[in-house]
């Protein structure tokens, strides 16, 4: 009887995770949107900072991206041959980053035109063609490949962190802490051992124990988000 109950709970849990994108299409499903925000807020925020946004602008990118996803998600159709959800979300984020940088460029232009340089002060005229290339143009032309690489790396870290959060509910917390410091934060086994107050061998053992379980949870998350 107990085994049946556990099995039913596991089935319900997997079904819930597997339907996250579908549930997000209901804008009234606040629980699903909180889950989405918690999972992807830092990913979007870090990307915006790397693209040249200030922290305030990055926060705006996060808010505008989530709003945009809410509006556009019903139109999204999963087709890995054309566009995975990861790429679709990257595009949504990139557009909002460009919007923020355009706003800044427009504001800086207004300041320049409202404060003309005085004769002899050495400042170049605003329209002499020597001003620096617009930030948004540099992002689009010369750094997009690096930004996409950074996005993919941060995406994997985001999924891994979410998987570890789920593993914490079923594994030794100290093992999880060691795994997080070593695998997610990049500390060496010796550094982790010194931080936690355990032997280096214990760190390796924690990684060996949790590695397969975390990998399994990552696969579940990837399936849930159909990436």
Domain extent listing, the chain = 21-117+132-140, 143-227
CB proximity list for 201: less than 8 A, separation 6 or greater:
none
Average pLDDT, integer, range 106-117? 56
Please give the C-alpha separations between residue 217 and each of 145, 154, 159, 206, in angstroms, as whole numbers: 29, 17, 9, 16
Between the two ends of the chain, the Cα-to-Cα distance in Å is 36
- For 51-60, the pLDDT digits (tens) are 999 999 999 9
- Domain 21-117+132-140: assigned CATH number: 1.10.1740.10
pLDDT of residue 111: 53
Can you spell out the DSSP letters for the chain? -HHHHHHHHHHHHHHHHHTHHHHHTSTT-HHHHHHHHHHHHHHHHHHHHHTT--HHHHHHHHHHHHHHHHHHGGG---BTTTB-HHHHHHHHHHHHHHHHHHHHHHHHHHHHHHSPPPTTS-PPPTTSS-SPPPHHHHHHHHSHHHHHHHHHHHHHHHHHHHHHHHHTTTS-HHHHHHHIIIIIS---HHHHHHHHTS-HHHHHHHHHHHHHHHHHHHHHHHHHHT-
Residues facing 79 on adjacent strands: 83
Q: How confident is the model at residue 25 (pLDDT cuts 50, 70, 90)?
A: confident
Percent of all residues in the chain with a pLDDT value above 90, rounded to a whole number? 33
- For 175-192, the pLDDT digits (tens) are 999 999 998 889 999 999
- For 114-154, the pLDDT digits (tens) are 554 444 444 433 333 333 334 444 454 446 788 888 898 89
Q: What size, in residues, is the chain?
A: 227
Does the 143-227 domain belong in CATH 1.10.132.20? no
pLDDT of residue 175: 93
pLDDT of residue 157: 86
With 80 as the cut, is the pLDDT of residue 193 above it?
yes
Q: At what angle do helices 85-114 and 135-142 cross, to 10 degrees?
A: 150
For the entire predicted model, the pTM comes to: 0.64
Contact 126, 112 (CB under 8 A): yes
Average pLDDT, integer, range 40-63? 94
Residues facing 83 on adjacent strands: 79
């Amino acid at each position: 009887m107990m085994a049946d109950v556990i099995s039913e709970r596991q089935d319900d849990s997997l079904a819930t995770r597997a339907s996250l994108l579908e549930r997000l299409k209901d804008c009234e499903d606040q629980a699903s949107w909180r889950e989405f925000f918690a999972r992807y807020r830092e990913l979007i925020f870090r990307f915006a900072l790397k693209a040249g946004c200030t922290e305030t602008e990055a926060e705006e990118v996060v808010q505008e991206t989530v709003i945009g996803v809410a509006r556009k998600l019903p139109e999204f159709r999963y087709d890995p041959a054309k566009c995975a959800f990861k790429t679709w979300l990257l595009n949504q984020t990139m557009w909002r980053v460009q919007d923020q940088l355009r706003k800044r460029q427009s504001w800086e232009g207004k300041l320049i035109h409202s404060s003309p340089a005085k004769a002899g002060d050495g400042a170049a005229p605003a329209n002499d063609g020597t001003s620096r290339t617009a930030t948004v143009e540099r992002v689009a032309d010369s750094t997009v490949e690096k930004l996409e690489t950074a996005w993919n790396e941060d995406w994997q870290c985001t999924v891994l962190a979410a998987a570890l959060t789920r593993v914490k509910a079923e594994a030794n917390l100290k093992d999880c802490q060691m795994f997080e410091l070593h695998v997610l934060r990049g500390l060496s086994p010796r550094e982790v051992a010194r931080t936690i107050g355990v032997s280096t061998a214990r760190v390796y053992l924690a990684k060996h124990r949790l590695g397969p379980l975390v990998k399994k949870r990552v696969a579940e998350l990837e399936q849930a988000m159909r990436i």
